[in-house]
Chain A
């Protein structure tokens, strides 16, 4: 059974940094594209970033390029999202998802809440 568990969320001040992790199990992680999606409180879903199975390709939503970095460690079956220079508008639940191609997001974690506030 596929299992995705996010961690690392919490309260951070504006301008601060945070790294989210996503532990994966139940599938061949290194062969699989992974995706981060976020959802601000009471708002819709927003695609954040994708990373290819071997880490050789990464794609980001234009508005976050330069502040957010997606990475992975296939030896640990883990996905990461490094978030720098955080702003209030980055407050959201961040989900990791298994991407079976062209954003067919077949499995999702439970989400990690990130709150940016002073």
Chain B
């Protein structure tokens, strides 16, 4: 299995919006509505921010939103704040019950 494709970096100024993409194939991202997004600060465990493409767990700010079009899922962070600076990973359910992670995107708040 190949990892999902994410841009290695993204950036935005406080208050701006930034979108991170996650591209797979019809056998994973495009074939199922089971894409999740994780935020990881340095030295910390990951935290789920979005699941099932566009659902937010309780406690996650509504500044975080998810979407999908074809084989590409996206995470949008609106109203950027300093604490949003972190690494972000997508993961998709894939055929044969596998899970594929993206390579990760380092989000910098300028």
The interface of chain A, by Cβ under 8 A from chain B, is: 35, 37, 44-47, 50, 59, 61-62, 95, 100, 102-106, 108-111
B51 and A44 contact, CB distance less than 8 A: no
Query: Which stretch in B14-22, B66-74, B78-86, B98-106 binds the other chain?
Result: B98-106
B104 and A44 contact, CB distance less than 8 A: yes
The interface of chain B, by Cβ under 8 A from chain A, is: 1, 3, 32, 34, 36, 38, 40, 45-48, 51-52, 57, 87, 89, 91-93, 96-104
> A103–B89 Cα gap in the complex (Å)?
13
A103 and B99 contact, CB distance less than 8 A: yes
> A44–B87 Cα gap in the complex (Å)?
9
A48–chain B nearest beta-carbon distance, Å: 9
B45 and A108 contact, CB distance less than 8 A: yes
Residues of A within 8 Å of B93, CB to CB, are: 102-103
Q: Given A61-B1, A62-B1, A95-B45, decide whether A102 and B52 contact each other with a Cβ distance below 8 A.
A: yes
Residues of A within 8 Å of B87, CB to CB, are: 44
Residues of A within 8 Å of B101, CB to CB, are: 37, 44-47
If A44-B103, A59-B96 are given as contacts, then 9 extra A-B residue pairs at C-beta distance below 8 Å, sorted by A number, are: A44-B89, A44-B104, A47-B91, A95-B46, A102-B51, A103-B93, A105-B36, A108-B46, A110-B45
